[in-house]
Amino acid sequence: MFIICGACCGNRDTMGRKEISCSWKKVTNNIRDVFEFKQQLGSGSFSEVYLVSEKKTGNLYALKCLKKKHLSCTNLENEITVLKKIRHDNVIGLEDFYESRTHYYLVMQLVSGGELFDRIIDRGVYTEKDASQLVRQVLQAVNYLHENSIVHRDLKPENLLYFNSDENSKIMISDFGLSKMSDHGVMSTACGTPGYVAPEVLAQKPYSKAVDCWSIGVITYILLCGYPPFFEDNETRLFSKIMRADYAFHSPFWDNISESAKDFIRNMMQKHPHKRFTTEQALRHPWIIGKTARDQDIYETVSMQIQRNFAKSKWRQAFNATAAINHMKKRQLTNGDHEAPPQPIPAIAINPCASHNSVNTHALVYCYANYYSKKNLTFIF
């Protein structure tokens, strides 16, 4: 098991304020001396993310800027410790770490291929095999994390990004703010995103890396039908359904999905964590190997349900990484200094359903957007 080395990263007290002390941290008076800021990619209450170019090399990165005065040093230290340890093809890596008087700066690997749901909607053709290949990549990455005693604890579609715009681009796992180094294999802090969190977390019981496998099961379910397995217009009833693992494969949305896919989901979404598949077991399942995943096109149903049930990410600005890079390329080609920026991507309207009894003919209810699309919705009991 991994042991966090205090010499590498820890807290120090400066004038009554705790700060992060890392042997590899770089200090700068002005981060703009190091990077050229190209475009804002996103923003939150206490942080902003920019597309930047390193002045020495010209390399492009995503720079996460965090204001010290709003920051929990413990949480950031945890994220940095986890990110520094990770080196995997399907995980967004931390390239560098800077500090100024007012900010911490995480220099992240740039991924420009967009979000999972957006790519599915843009595909035009989409099959079980496509979903199987996506889930296999996620499993390989999470298996790597688990082998290194890291539990992500907040796996959800919004945290799955494509590396670039290529048709066969790999998928990348992001957002390790809630990840945990699990030295003893058991944790107790309740955290995650409602709708993707495992029953044992909601029950406030000690839990293990099995929570990630549950979340992958939920993601797989959504990838095959376009709506989430648990839906209620009341938070208490929603949590009750999750704790009972009360989900179903509704007709007609699941009529053309293979029994093998359903079997995989049942094993990932086992109520009891000791009966739940591990990542190793999941990677050996016939549906993941590719032997049983169907080639039938399910694009029309899945894309329609995704658009109906999942709001666009709240943090998205007029530019995402893809749009910003394409904009830069266009400027270079035209040598135009006054080209208008691309327009913001329009938000997708949420269509509320008339009643709970319409589940077989309509895609669920407005509350999905509330529970499932919030990027940073975290609950602590």
The residue from 154, 166, 246, 337 that is catalytic is: 154
Q: At what angle do helices 299-309 and 116-123 cross, to 10 degrees?
A: 140
Compute the distance between CA of residue 53 and CA of residue 10 in angstroms, rounded to an integer: 29
154 is catalytic: yes
Q: Coil, strand or helix: which one is 235?
A: helix
Compute the distance between CA of residue 147 and CA of residue 185 in angstroms, rounded to an integer: 11
347: how many CB neighbours lie within 10 A of its CB?
Answer: 11
DSSP strand pairing (26-27 vs 94-99): parallel
Compute the distance between CA of residue 53 and CA of residue 230 in angstroms, rounded to an integer: 42
Question: Which CA distances in Å does 275 have to 184, 210, 268, 288?
Answer: 20, 10, 9, 19
Which phi and psi angles does 138 have, rounded to 5°? -65, -45
Q: What stretches of 64-169 show up as alpha helix (H) in DSSP?
A: 73-85, 116-123, 128-147
Residue 358 is given by DSSP the state: G
- 64 assigned binding-site residue: yes
Name which of 172, 179, 134 is nearest 154 in CA terms: 179
Strand order across the 60-67 sheet: 26-27, 94-99, 103-108, 60-67, 47-54, 35-43
Q: How far apart are the first and last CA of the chain?
A: 28
Compute the distance between CA of residue 213 and CA of residue 153 in angstroms, rounded to an integer: 10
Compute the distance between CA of residue 140 and CA of residue 177 in angstroms, rounded to an integer: 20
Given a contact cutoff of 8 angstroms between Cβ atoms, the answer to whether 264 and 224 are in contact is no
Per the annotation, binding residues for ATP are: 64
Active-site residue numbers?
A: 154
| Residue ranges of the binding site | 64
